[in-house]
Amino acid sequence: MRGVAYYRVSTDKQGRSGLGLEAQREAVRRFMTDDYPPVREFTEVESGKLASRPELAKALATAKMLRLPLVVAKVDRLARNVAFLEAILASGVEVVFCDIPQVHGAMGRFILQQMAAVAQLEAGLISERTKAALKAAKDRGKVLGGFRGVKVDPELGRAAKAAKAFEFASQVAPIARELQAGGASLRIIAAELTSRGIPTPRGGDWNAVQVKRVLERVQGS
């Protein structure tokens, strides 16, 4: 099988030393065999202080673009983080776990949903305990800060769409540039992208205009 590999380590120290990372890579290599190495590999160094998971987003975007599964060494690399689980479920990308390879497709998605439900329950329980502690503090006479309100910027929706379009273009542009450097025209590049099974942002075959837009979007990046 072919797939996009995703690895996760918990600290900067682990990321630099390779502690845990090499074991994940070896598990993926054994599972996929040397004949079918990962098409792309992404490594997340997770910090408890940050909610964003940029490497996961890149891995999911690549897997979705290439219509390949996301391959994870061990189920516990995802099981305890609701943000990871929700991002995967929302993407619609299939996930394959090397330690339980028989679980994939509908069953794999069901397991992810159960993991997300448990993680969400834990988050809810933590929230309830926090609210109870705040109420107790307030009852003791402690002054607590109040909600100041949030202004919604109408530009955020457009900015999010632009960011999504740029992310897609940044995945396709290197391929297009490589073909262009070899003398291929926009029309030939479009045909090659289509033949490789790379879908357009809306699905379907590529044309010269779409290739030009992708190249223009990431020009200078």
Q: Which residue matches tokens 């776990």?
A: 97
Q: What is the pTM of this model?
A: 0.47
The string over 128-147, giving b where at least 16 C-beta atoms fall within 10 Å of a residue's C-beta and e elsewhere, is eeeeeeeeeeeeeeeeeeee
Which pLDDT tens digit goes with each residue over 29-78?
998 888 888 999 999 887 544 456 788 888 989 999 999 999 988 776 66
Which two three-digit tokens encode residue 112?
């992810």
Q: What is the pLDDT of residues 112-165, one digit of tens each?
A: 667 667 666 766 676 677 777 777 767 777 655 544 454 545 555 676 677 777
Q: How confident is the model at residue 90 (pLDDT cuts 50, 70, 90)?
A: confident
Q: For residue 118, how many C-alpha atoms fall within 13 Å in the half-sphere facing its CB?
A: 10
Report d(CA 186, CA 175) in Å as an integer: 12
